[in-house]
Structure 1
């Protein structure tokens, strides 16, 4: 009996008007700057929010570094895969791609960690196909839920354990900054992520600093 493919790896175009408009607007913005970028961000709402909660620190850390944001709120792996296969990175050659994707697979559909990891692997393959000279900074999925014993926290942790193995230290690099968000006992506080999912502005400062610190030494 043939096993069905996980939805996480089947490219899927979302139907919301704002999503399709944002995809088109981003393509146009890239044309306007002659596709000249050095750091490319790919992801979901956490990345998208560099334009909202994190905007101040985007200006501080990345505005002068030819960075570009392709985070789309609500995206799962299959949605990012569709964007990659439909012009999102065509003609680009960034030095670094910052990738954070998969938390919505865990939250929206309760995907198994294996399916989340397979979705991330498929995206990595697509990035390497289209951007063969770019290095990829693969971010650990950020923590969810208040406590370590919660099913969603455990789903994220199990996904990270699998995703981490995709890094080779050459083209694909792994960066896990989750300790910065948690107390010594592993508790995630609302003062860090108000909804226990999306970082507040201060965390974007920490994240940006961590990214730059890593890529400047690699």
Structure 2
């Protein structure tokens, strides 16, 4: 008996990918006189199974859709059910019928039926983990992290359990008969899960939950934290361009007369990749990512020298995740100037990777890392 109160509109199209949804939103599909309270975005499964896109690209597409919706519908909130679990099982090829506008040549080379993995294919095609489980899990974890740092504008709801058996080893055939599309019963189960989340999310007090002071010029508070209001307008524009597309962790530090650099802005990748919350990041110097016991004096000396001279630098330094995991950081620091030419801020581009070598091997490598190029050298 689950049903939603008020007006409900559906905008999905069979075969949709993130790029299709983004195009339609940017070209006026979501034009409302009164913006809706909640927009539920369910997109990405066709990028997984039809296009075999990488997890990072799918996440960027979803993030762009979320930002566009929040920008065009002020006052609305976004609810993310994530990408649902799906088939085929590991070892089988995805069987996707042509979407409207696609002919059969799109799927040339794909067998009409996947090879059975075991006796009784009807059972095995529902097996989980499936061929796409790892990619789906990666995207959903990043969506959850984005929502957690959105200041209450975005909410993530894990809906996987709606379609899985109790032990999680298979999709329920009565709820997802083709291991991809929910049946009528599956839709009802899904709605039953989403209904209270939508209604509570939509009517929640605007003052409840943390809300970040974000510059209105940023693409969306769903993936930007802090403020760039003190940054020169030209530099701010270029930083915002980077934020929209970079897969790296970014932060902007305000240089004070005391010589420290409290972080005034970070993107969601910084939150996700370091494990710290927004509240634990803003206002702190980036030194909190370093160890007090194992100080990288060479890298720190290079950083201090560059800041003292107001120039850019690139170093490789050891940082640490909140859980203690070592993170090798190919760090690039870029000065941001005021109209008078004074360095007021530094943009930090962090290329984190988990350390898989011992300290000696890291030390033998060059500390100079590739530059992003000259485009940002004169900020």
Same fold? TM cut 0.5: yes
Q: Does 1:69 align with 2:36?
A: no
TM-score of the two chains, using structure 1 as the length reference: 0.68
Listed as ranges, the matches of 1:6-21 within 5 Å are none
Say whether residues 1:211 and 2:194 are aligned partners: yes
Contact persistence 2:174–2:185 (CA under 8 A): no
Unmatched runs of 5 consecutive residues or more in structure 1 = 1-56
1:140 to 82, 96, 114: 82
One of 173, 183, 191 as aligned partner of 1:200: 183
Paired residues of 1:76 and 1:101 also in contact (CA < 8 A)? yes
Q: Which has the higher helix share?
A: 1
Q: Name the structure 2 match of 1:126.
A: 68
Distance 2:67 2:25 in 1: 11
Q: Gaps (5+ residues) in structure 2?
A: 88-125, 202-379
CA RMSD of aligned residues (A): 1.6
How many residues are treated as equivalent by the alignment? 159
**Residue number in structure 2 paired with 1:21:** none
User: Aligned-pair distance for 1:147?
Assistant: 2.5
4+ residue runs of structure 1 moved beyond 3 angstroms?
none
TM-score by length of 2: 0.40
| Equivalence for 2:270 | none
Q: Partner of 1:151: helix, strand, or coil?
A: coil
| Pairing 1:5-154 to 2, within 5 Å after superposition | 61-62=3-4, 64-92=5-33, 93-145=35-87, 146-154=126-134
Q: Is 1:183 aligned to 2:165, yes or no?
A: yes
Task: State the distance in 1 between where 2:21 and 2:160 align.
Answer: 23
- Structure with greater contact order relative to length (CA < 8 Å, sep ≥ 6): 1
SS at match of 2:9: strand
Provide Cα deviations, 1:34-58, integer angstroms capped at 9, x if missing partner.
Answer: xxxxxxxxxxxxxxxxxxxxxxx7x
State the distance in 2 between where 1:207 and 1:149 align: 20
Change (3 A) 1:117 1:208: same
Once the two structures are superposed, the pairs formed by residues 143-182 of structure 1 within 5 Å of their partners are: 143-145=85-87, 146-167=126-147, 168=150, 170-182=152-164
